[in-house]
């Protein structure tokens, strides 16, 4: 797939719609240059973000904790 991305005056990069559809607005990327090539790699959100975002006065259920543990293990296996 070849298409053009546009650098806007506010230094944001607008991706083509077909590519942007694969991502969420809150996704984060590692970016680096190799000569005149710009490379982007999406950072997978950590399942532990759910723990960090949980309200302090509400404990996670055992099912939620179990889901997080399984997701962390799946990510370790696929790396």
pLDDT tens-digit readout, 61-70: 888 888 888 8
pLDDT reported for residue 68: 82
User: Taking the model in full, what pTM does it have?
Assistant: 0.52
CA 24/CA 70 separation, integer angstroms = 23
Dump pLDDT digits (tens) for 5-54. Answer: 999 999 999 999 999 998 888 888 999 999 999 999 988 777 777 777 77
pLDDT reported for residue 10: 96
Place of tokens 């000569």: 35
pLDDT reported for residue 79: 62
pLDDT reported for residue 36: 93
């Amino acid at each position: 797939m070849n298409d053009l991305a546009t650098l806007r005056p506010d230094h944001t990069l607008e991706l083509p719609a077909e590519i942007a559809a694969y991502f969420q607005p809150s996704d984060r990327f590692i970016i680096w240059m190799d000569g005149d090539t710009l490379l982007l790699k999406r950072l997978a959100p950590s399942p532990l973000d759910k723990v960090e975002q949980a309200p302090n006065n509400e404990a996670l259920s055992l099912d939620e904790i179990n889901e997080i543990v399984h997701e962390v293990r799946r990510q370790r296996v696929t790396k």
